[in-house]
Amino acid sequence: MIKKKIKMKIIAILAPVVLVAGFVIVIVCALVSLDFFGTNETDGYVEENEAYAEDYKAVLNQNIKYGKGYVSLSRILYFYLENDSLTFKEIYTDNLDKETKKQLPISEVCILPKYKSMTACKTDEILDSSQSDEDVNKPFTAPLKISNMNVTSFFMEERTVYGKADVHHAWDLSSPNNTPVYATCDGEVTSVSFPYSQNIIDTSGGGGNQIKIKCEVDEDTTYEVWYAHLYPNSSKVKVGDKVKSWQQIAEVGTTGYSTGPHLHYQVSKDGNTVDGMSLIDFTDTNSETITKPYFDNNLSPYPNLNGYTPYGN
Ligand SMILES: [Zn+2]
């Protein structure tokens, strides 16, 4: 009898708490679905991007490694989804500033006759979209000579590697084994881990041989850059070393959970991954061979992948 009374009392106390908590959860879910909290680190992430991945990578490789600059998938789709008679190639070109090699502010694209009358160019639409109109700072240099790299996976790409679906929070840049890897910014080496003494794929491994560098680009902004799948014994740095942009830190390999020689280039800010390609200043290329790529589509030998995405993870 006493036990029953206590039980009733507990229920009486808990019931309103559970009700209030339930109510809060419902409200928060509703606000999230209305995008009340906005977006931050996922800015520019195009959901269900698998359908566009191959076309997008083709246009990236026609542009990035020839030093023309970088345009995000979200910017391309912003226009393409309104008019699919436009090609990715022409949207990419129209959205680049030829001098600064930066993605143009959207208002500058919208004055072109081709785009002017689009709904996408109406002020309200632009404000509602994630298309920023700011001229962005580019504090990084490229992690490989740009003529030496082929993009095989872009930031936030939805893909399948070794039968497992994931969203890739980095850039995969395929390049032959032993291609020099450079620091993308002035910073300090925070981690050097080279457990693999042979250049081998290990599907139960992670990033393989890897280096992390922290770069404070201004008072408020510190990035952490992660370079993975590096070649055995190729590290030119140790923890605590100060490095400069374009200083060689290691060589490309295929160690760890990889599908062929490539660099996994991942950038984080305040613990969240961000688009590392969008930070690179393409006017600073450290390359004398942009018009004659040393590395093109003749990929070096890689294992039989049985239909898996080549040069990934
Ligand atoms: Zn990767």
How many Å lie between the centroid of ligand 1 and the Cα of residue 165?
A: 13
How many Å lie between the centroid of ligand 1 and the Cα of residue 204?
A: 15
Q: Is the dihedral of CA 195, 309, 287, 93 positive or negative?
A: negative
How many Å lie between the centroid of ligand 1 and the Cα of residue 39?
A: 23
**What phi and psi values does residue 64 have, to the nearest 5 degrees?**
-60, -55
Q: Which CATH number fits domain 146-279: 3.10.20.90, 3.40.140.10, 2.60.120.10, 2.70.70.10?
A: 2.70.70.10
Decide: residue 262, CB within 10 A, 0-12 exposed, 13-18 middle, 19+ buried. Answer: buried
- For the entire predicted model, the pTM comes to 0.79
How many Å lie between the centroid of ligand 1 and the Cα of residue 312?
A: 5
CA dist 102 and 282 (Å) reads 8
CA dist 259 and 263 (Å) reads 11
Token pair, residue 148, equals 């030496």
Residue 281 has what DSSP assignment? -
How many Å lie between the centroid of ligand 1 and the Cα of residue 171?
A: 6
pLDDT by residue for the chain (313 residues), tens only, comes to 445 555 556 556 556 666 666 655 555 544 444 443 333 334 567 778 888 999 999 999 999 988 899 999 999 999 999 999 999 999 999 999 999 999 999 999 999 999 999 999 999 889 888 887 777 889 999 999 988 889 999 999 998 888 888 899 999 999 999 999 999 999 999 999 999 999 999 988 899 999 999 999 989 899 999 999 999 999 999 999 999 999 999 999 999 999 999 999 999 999 999 999 999 999 998 765 444 444 444 443 333 333 334 455 6
How many Å lie between the centroid of ligand 1 and the Cα of residue 144?
A: 15
How many Å lie between the centroid of ligand 1 and the Cα of residue 252?
A: 13
How many Å lie between the centroid of ligand 1 and the Cα of residue 172?
A: 5
